Structure 1
Amino acid sequence: MTTTIEVPRIQRFAANTAGRDFAAGDIHGHFSRLQAALEAAGFDPVVDRLFSVGDLIDRGPECRDALDWLAKPWFHPVRGNHDDFVVHFDTCDVFSWICNGGSWFTGLSPPEQQAFALQFAELPIAIEIETPGGLVGIIHADCPVSSWDQLRAELQSPESDKQLRAVLLRCMWSRTRIQAGDTRGVHGLRALVVGHTPLRQPAVLGNVYHVDTAGWLDGYFTLLDLTTLQCIPPIDPEPGFDQA
């Protein structure tokens, strides 16, 4: 039976007055590569924080390390579509999951599977972080509405279960904005950070930052400083954001 836990769907973090805040793209079981990117950026786990757009598991060799990372007090991910498979492992489309990198999960014992489901069920759908320049949001794939206030209301007090499912689906799966090159942005935020679609370099559409640069595949991990909104490594000034 899938475990149901009442947890906030949106989580808020106060400003980091001691160190820096970063956001990173999809991890997909490549925590060693992410750690190397953090070390190259001079990340200090004592005062710095890392926010993740989710998809912690599948496709890479270190999926089992996800629980160790979730125990780190400075690591804060949202739930991606692959993470959601774990939450609903006994009712999801298992064939589709396995075809997209989920076979590692079938090798776990039932208690191990349940442990993953419990931890991943606690991941919020959205995160908002106070920064000196204004509020920054984190979602895995996209914001399905035009304003952050509206999304917050949809997540906290949905009109119906059907409406909530539609919102969650788009938060974790939608590629509409990046595919259309939509620059209208999301009102009520300084910036929204998303992943889900692998790109050759980060893309900025309005105030929406797409930071999955395929560090889990053949690309690299981008770290976005949430105070300066500068990427490490920097964005190539050449135009275009071809998918990886």
Structure 2
Amino acid sequence: MNVRRFERNTLGRDVVVGDIHGCFSVLEAALSAIEFDADKDRLFCVGDLIDRGPQSIEALRYYKSANCVRGNHEDMLLGLQRSGQDLGEVHKQLKRNGMDWWIDLTDDAREEFANAFEQLPLAIEVESENGLVGIVHAEVPYAWDWPTFIAGLNQKDTTAIDSALWGRERIEHEDTSCVPGVSKVFHGHTIQQAPTCLGNRFYVDTGCIRGLMHMNPLAGRLTVADLTIGPADFTADPELGLLFDARLSQDRPRLEISSV
């Protein structure tokens, strides 16, 4: 299943978070701060829940309970597991990408994670009061409309899949064009100093892992945004676009909420 679609949430809020990268203590504190209610609110993730951070093993629980697209980090480990390649041969590559936690897992645990990775869609569609919202880890190719992109993913088109997992061309060129056929699209993958809106594309990876590991709130923070947010509010409204600063307080992060 390369694409998953959700009907409109008539009970509560739909929120999306940037790349977690094994920083689940930060995510949990963020959800607590916004009084997230799992009985009526829905959590969406832009992928890369694993690697680099200290709590990647916790990701399995979130893959089962949250609505997450596949990121390039999930895809890399899935490819490695399915290839049967010896971990010793790629140890340096794994360490460089913050994947050394994978080596310490049992064979059964690695297979359990791989099975979870396989179930993750490459894109999510969510009906909202403002129209259809898309979620994809990296980007939609230049000049493609949303229906064409979704059709490409379903047909296993390599251009669509590579762009969904790895694309950075549009954000690196600060492309302000919209993706036709969808009201807005949320992305992660490419770290931004602050949540960034270009056209109808919203980039929410603000480098949570950098803030946690360096204990520097300017180095990286977790962005939580409501799916109904508009471009005018994205960098102004602290109730819709929240940044969570990770600081150490004894043995766990302390979070300070600030507007963008």
User: Partners of 2:199 and 2:94 in 1: how far apart?
Assistant: 32
How many Å apart are 1:97 and its aligned residue? 3.5
Task: Calculate the TM-score normalised by the size of structure 2.
Answer: 0.81
Residue identity in the other structure for 1:151: F
Residue identity in the other structure for 1:215: C
Which has more strand, going by share of residues?
A: 2
Does residue 232 of the first structure (1) align with residue 242 of the second (2)? yes
Does residue 45 of the first structure (1) align with residue 43 of the second (2)? no
Structure 2 gap ranges (5+): 212-219, 231-239, 244-257
How many Å apart are 1:235 and its aligned residue? 5.7
Aligned to 1:126: 123
Does residue 223 of the first structure (1) align with residue 216 of the second (2)? no
Secondary structure of the 2:221 match is coil
1:175 aligned to which of 146, 158, 168: 168
Deviations 1:84-127 (A, max 9, x none): 02211233894433311111001111111111101111000000
| Correspondence 1:1-244 to 2 at 5 A | 8-72=1-65, 75-90=66-81, 91=83, 94=90, 95-145=92-142, 146-158=144-156, 164-218=157-211, 219-229=220-230, 230-233=240-243, 236=260
Deviations 1:32-90 (A, max 9, x none): 10111111112111110110000010001111101111222xx1000000010221123
Deviations 1:123-166 (A, max 9, x none): 000000000000000000101252100011111234xxxxx233
Residue identity in the other structure for 1:157: Q
User: Partners of 1:19 and 1:201 in 2: how far apart?
Assistant: 26
Q: Tell me if the contact between 1:53 and 1:193 (Cα under 8 Å) persists in the aligned partners.
A: yes
Task: Calculate the TM-score normalised by the size of structure 1.
Answer: 0.86
How many Å apart are 1:224 and its aligned residue? 1.1
Residue identity in the other structure for 2:68: P
User: Partners of 2:221 and 2:37 in 1: how far apart?
Assistant: 20
Q: Which moves more between the two structures, 222-231 or 198-207?
A: 222-231
User: Partners of 1:43 and 1:115 in 2: how far apart?
Assistant: 28
Q: Tell me if the contact between 1:202 and 1:235 (Cα under 8 Å) persists in the aligned partners.
A: no
Structure 1 gap ranges (5+): 1-7, 159-163, 237-244
Q: Tell me if the contact between 1:89 and 1:117 (Cα under 8 Å) persists in the aligned partners.
A: no
Q: Tell me if the contact between 1:197 and 1:212 (Cα under 8 Å) persists in the aligned partners.
A: yes
Q: Which has the bigger relative contact order, CA under 8 A and spacing at least 6?
A: 1
Q: Tell me if the contact between 1:201 and 1:235 (Cα under 8 Å) persists in the aligned partners.
A: no
How many Å apart are 1:199 and its aligned residue? 1.2
Residue identity in the other structure for 1:220: R
Residue identity in the other structure for 1:198: I
Query: RMSD across aligned C-alpha pairs, in angstroms?
Result: 1.6
Give the % identical residues.
Answer: 41
User: Partners of 1:97 and 1:134 in 2: how far apart?
Assistant: 40
How many Å apart are 1:200 and its aligned residue? 1.2
